[in-house]
């Protein structure tokens, strides 16, 4: 059964480029972005791992830990990390899980036989501090992931968990939000003192409440 949004994600203990990781314990009270790769020394993934290393301060700011996964072993990962650091002008500053036995890949449904036999597809999982799955995206091998979009989704999730708003199409942190339909307009005006604009009775906008 594939993991569904809202499910508690499976725990596991696995080796990584930074030692043994017991996943739930390692995650602690942080958000986690877990992202998988088909193999070491693959070109698109090399650019992705470098991008994530450069963005790590942005993930840290949001209380997010990042964790990559590839089916190769730790020694292979260490050699690949040297290449990533060299070619992407960065320092990989987060762990890469070694999953040669495909244990984690099986737990998280990362093996798609119609796409890549025996290799993990390029999936992203956003997991909240309660270990609940909040987002999953699977990319084709030819398309590099957009980690700015992943940060945008985290901003939205963290905002909407704490305020009765949703975020509209293409929303970015600091922009107006949608008032959730369950709040009557008069109540919304009390709840959101910065103002509520009623575009339609079901479509009400308000400035981002935590800005």
**Catalytic center residues:** 45
59: CB partners within 8 A, 6+ apart: 33, 52, 65, 66, 151
Cα-based torsion angle of the residue sequence 21, 162, 57, 45 in order, rounded to the nearest 10 degrees? 60
Sheet bearing 165-166, strands edge to edge = 165-166, 177-179, 203-206, 197-200
């Amino acid at each position: 059964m594939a993991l569904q949004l809202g499910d508690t994600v499976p725990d596991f203990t696995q080796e990584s480029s930074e030692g043994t990781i017991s996943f739930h314990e390692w995650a602690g009270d942080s958000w986690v972005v877990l992202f998988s790769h088909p193999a070491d020394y693959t070109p698109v993934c090399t650019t992705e791992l470098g991008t994530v290393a450069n963005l790590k301060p942005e993930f840290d700011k949001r209380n997010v830990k990042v964790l990559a996964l590839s089916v190769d072993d730790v020694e292979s990962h260490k050699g690949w990390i040297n290449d990533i650091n060299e070619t992407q002008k960065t320092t990989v500053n987060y762990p890469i899980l070694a999953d040669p036995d495909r244990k984690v890949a099986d737990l998280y449904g990362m093996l798609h036989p119609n796409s890549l036999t025996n290799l993990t597809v390029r999936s992203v999982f956003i997991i909240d501090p309660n270990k609940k799955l909040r987002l999953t995206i699977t990319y084709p091998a030819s398309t590099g992931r957009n980690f700015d979009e992943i940060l945008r989704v985290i901003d939205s999730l963290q905002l909407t968990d704490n305020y009765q708003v949703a975020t509209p199409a293409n929303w970015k942190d600091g922009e107006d939000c949608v008032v959730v339909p369950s709040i009557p307009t008069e109540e919304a005006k009390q709840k959101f003192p910065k103002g509520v604009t009623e575009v339609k009775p079901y479509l009400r906008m308000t400035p981002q409440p935590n800005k």
